[in-house]
Amino acid sequence: MKSIKAKNNEYDWAIFATSYLQLANLACQELLDNRANKHNKAKVKPFNIPYKPQDLFVAILFNIKHGIEIFIKTLSIFAYGEYEEGHDIHDLFQAVKKKVKVLKINPIKKGSNEIKQTDIDSLYDDLDKMEELINYFYTLDLLKDKIGKHYTINDIQNDIFRYPDNKASVCLDWDAILDSQINDADIRQVQGKLDQIYKLFCKRGYFFAVLSE
């Protein structure tokens, strides 16, 4: 992957990452609110309609994955002043993790900011936890049991049986999947994972921000 030198705006990256993850969390909170007739509060009556978990599910996942991408790049910028180009959150995190493992980190005390030896000792454990959570959203395993028969395989080049690597694609029937499969339990699961990764990112974001100073 190509590395890109970052401008002196690392905190802007953190703000962008936080905003996407917080927006996803707000959507989860709204969907899980117990009040009846949840709706978008639009003043124009035709658009003032109730909504259900499936109505926001795709947007929640998109914002989480995009927020994760920016947060990974933010960690890299704080640690190295650069980030890897691309959108594959698995590959991006592997690149950052590899770089972090060769950093020589010592305890630091700068005014009210401090990195203790215990923070350093727990760094790799936190990176492993991040990786597990990133993979949860990267693979989207929670959808595999829900897809069922609601998909088609498009083999426009007629090469799916010709080569092990091919250009065939899978097209999901989102309307059928979302309408019958997504529920409050799925939203709670996603929100729980989101809360975990958000706390880890904030913890290690602070860690690397102190180091960069």
pLDDT per residue, tens digit, the chain (213 aa), is: 788 887 878 889 999 999 999 999 999 998 888 877 666 565 666 666 677 778 889 999 999 999 999 999 998 988 888 889 999 999 999 999 998 888 788 787 777 787 888 888 888 899 999 999 999 999 988 888 888 889 999 998 888 888 888 888 989 998 888 887 788 899 999 999 999 999 999 988 888 787 676
Domain membership flag for residue 11: yes
The mean predicted confidence, pLDDT, of the chain is 87
In three-state form (DSSP H/G/I as H, E/B as E, the rest C), the secondary structure along 19-44 is HHHHHHHHHHHHHHCCCCCCECCCCC
Q: Count how many domains the chain has.
A: 1
Of residues 191, 75, 89, the one with CA closest to residue 132: 89
Kindly state whether residue 188 falls inside one of the protein's structural domains: yes
Of the CA atoms within 13 Å of residue 97, those in its CB half-sphere come to 16
35 found inside a domain: yes
Residue 20 domain-assigned? yes
pLDDT score at 109: 79
Report if residue 150 sits inside a domain. no
Query: Please, what sign has the CA dihedral across residues 62, 132, 7, 206?
Result: positive
193 lies in some domain? yes
In terms of residue numbers, what domain contains 77?
Answer: 3-142+182-212
User: Helix, strand, or coil here: 109?
Assistant: strand
Domain presence at residue 8: yes
Among the listed residues 25, 76, 43, 45, the one whose alpha carbon sits nearest the alpha carbon of residue 190: 25
**Does any domain span residue 112?**
yes
- Are the C-beta atoms of residues 172 and 151 closer than 8 Å to each other? yes
Predicted pLDDT of residue 139: 92
pLDDT for 47 equals 62
What does the DSSP assignment read for 138-189?
HHTGGGHHHHTT-EEEE-TTS-TTT-SS---EEEE-HHHHHHHH--HHHHHH
pLDDT for 183: 87
Do residues 167 and 157 make contact, with C-beta atoms less than 8 angstroms apart? yes
Q: Look at phi and psi of residue 158 and say left if phi exceeds 0, alpha if psi is from -120 to 50, else beta.
A: left
pLDDT at 27: 93
Q: Tell me the per-residue pLDDT of 146-200, one tens digit each, with 9 for 90 and over.
A: 888 899 999 988 888 888 888 889 899 988 888 877 888 999 999 999 999 999 9
pLDDT score at 21: 97
pLDDT of 179 reads 81
| Cα 89 to Cα 69: distance, rounded to the nearest angstrom | 6
